[in-house]
Amino acid sequence: MDFTTYTYVYKDKLLRATFADGTSGLEITGPTCVAPSGTIQLTATLTKVDGSTYNLQKHDKLTWRSSDSSIMSINDSGVVTAVAATGGATITAHFKDATQALDESADVTIQVGTGSSCGNTGGPGNPPGTCGIQIGAARKGTVTSHTVMDPVATGVIKADQRDSEQFNVLDGIPTSESLYVNVFGLNYLYQNQWANMSGEITYTVPVKKKYILTWTIPGTPSTGPNNPGTPDKPMREEVPVEERIAITRPYSYWQIDNLEVYKLGRSTVSNYALPGGSVSLTPTGYTPPILTSDHSARVEDHVKASPCEEVDLGTETVSGGFTRPVVPSTDFTSAAESAVGQNQVKNDKVLFNGSTVMSDSWAQATAPTPGIIPPASTVNRDVLYGKNYLISSTLLNKKNTPSTGTIDYDLIPGNINGGSPKSYPVNAINTVTVHTPVVNYSSVTDDQDHNQKTTPNSSRFAFILDRPFTVTIPTSGQHRNIRGYGDRDYAKYVRSKQVYFPFKCLQPR
């Protein structure tokens, strides 16, 4: 800054005027990148013609404006808020004060971006009195995995009614009787991977202190009346010292790498004895699990820097006696450390059936370790159950017909990074023996009284020509001694009865 001085004489007065030969100006300082949904603080530095500077954020003569408010907005305090996820806009600061003949403007381009490059990076562009903040990239560490993807499915095919079965299907069950099918499996399946993410935030902390150096230049003693000497001359010098100290603070949080939860869908069971060869069971009285999740891979959504401001250590006077003292060498690290608090961190979010598995509450430095999805239990026997499956009367007897089955699970909402419907075999389903019983304890009348053979055979029944006889074929009698069979009436399973005669006979009307 150059100055020009003019001297005027008026009567007995001397007038001296000094003019600054400088120019005024306005400059915007602060970060040039803002994270999506984030904010940054800008400062307008006003320089007057006399060289004085003023750091302004809010002033009645200062206005702020964004060239595109759909990308970012700015309030009257110089706080920029990202509106869009990407893009850029020009921020304009305008200072106008007619009384001081000041009309200055400045522009700066701000970008909306992601990643650690969009932290408040600090440095020379930072507003005076604030810290520089750099959020370092997150590193993946421990990954914990939990998997329950085997439904342990089993099934049975038995004779109706359940708990009071009339037949043992392993031994035999007749056609025209009915079956029930029961399948068991876990009420849900899941697999997940939780990843521990960690890193550091670097704070560049301005620390300043002012030293006042004092010393005395010795005077000269008097040597006589003509040399009174000179007095001691006290000296004073102000020395401002400022350093920018880098302080790091760790952060650690958990994020979802993979999360899949499956609900029970349906089951299909096949066997020769079932209608059409197979039946399908849909869950009855079943409540599927409820999954709520929130996931972000952006470190900015998990980490918030601690507030940080300039440290002013005040003033210290250093006396040097009769020589100028040396400015003390001071380590400002401890002062910078005390100015920086702990980072705020939070995990992704996982709620299972309303209970917290991974908490997304804000915590200091280290977010809590996530838990485990609760163990699944086997569905009760009424969930996958069907009855009254009639065995077709057209089926032939078959022993130990094999059974197969599948159980299906469907992906539910809230899953992260993968998943598709799953199908598993139903194990250990029993065989079924189809055996329609027949008993034949037939008899005929014996007309021995009219037997005209010279030597009748008493062990044979006699039919006499032109005389009536009766053939009896009952439906009752002893069958195999197994459940549902034995000595009973089997008329239910008899369609017709026929008797073959080697001679012509007429049935009376």
Q: How confident is the model over 286-342, as pLDDT tens digits?
A: 999 999 999 999 998 999 988 888 899 999 999 989 899 999 988 899 999 998 988
Which string of DSSP letters, residue by residue, matches 68-120?
A: -TTTEEE-TTSEEEE-SSSEEEEEEEEEEEGGGTEEEEEEEEEEE--SGGGS-
pLDDT at 4 exceeding the cut of 80:
no
Q: How confident is the model over 122-144, as pLDDT tens digits?
A: 443 444 456 888 888 899 999 99
Q: Specify whether the CB–CB gap between 92 and 105 falls below 8 A.
A: yes
Which string of DSSP letters, residue by residue, matches 218-251?
A: ------BTTB-----EEEEEEEEEEEEEEEEEEE
Edge-to-edge strand ranges of the sheet holding 349-352: 291-294, 349-352, 355-358
Q: Of 365, 202, 195, 418, which is closest to residue 297 (Cα–Cα)?
A: 195
- Alpha-carbon torsion angle 393, 395, 401, 402, nearest 10: -90
pLDDT at 408 exceeding the cut of 70:
yes
Domains in the chain, start-ordered, CATH in brackets? 3-128 (2.60.40.1080), 143-364 (no CATH), 438-509 (no CATH)
Phi first, then psi: what are they for 450, rounded to 5°? -110, 15
Which residue, chain included where needed, has tokens 């037997």?
Answer: 451
- Identify the helix (H) or strand (E) that includes residue 185: none
CA distance 25 to 56: 13
Angle at the Cα of 381 (from 376 to 385), degrees rounded to 5?
Answer: 120
The arithmetic mean of pLDDT across residues 162-172, rounded, is 96
**6 half-sphere exposure, CB direction, 13 A CA radius:** 4
Position 133 scores a pLDDT of 85
Q: Of 96, 100, 7, 107, which is closest to residue 49 (Cα–Cα)?
A: 100
What type of residue sits at position 489? D
pLDDT at 117 exceeding the cut of 80:
no
pTM (2 decimals)? 0.67
Position 1 scores a pLDDT of 43
The arithmetic mean of pLDDT across residues 218-234, rounded, is 84
Q: Mapping DSSP to helix (H, G, I), strand (E, B) and coil, where does residue 200 land?
A: strand
Phi first, then psi: what are they for 487, rounded to 5°? -95, 105
Angle at the Cα of 311 (from 305 to 315), degrees rounded to 5?
Answer: 175
Average pLDDT of every residue of the chain: 89
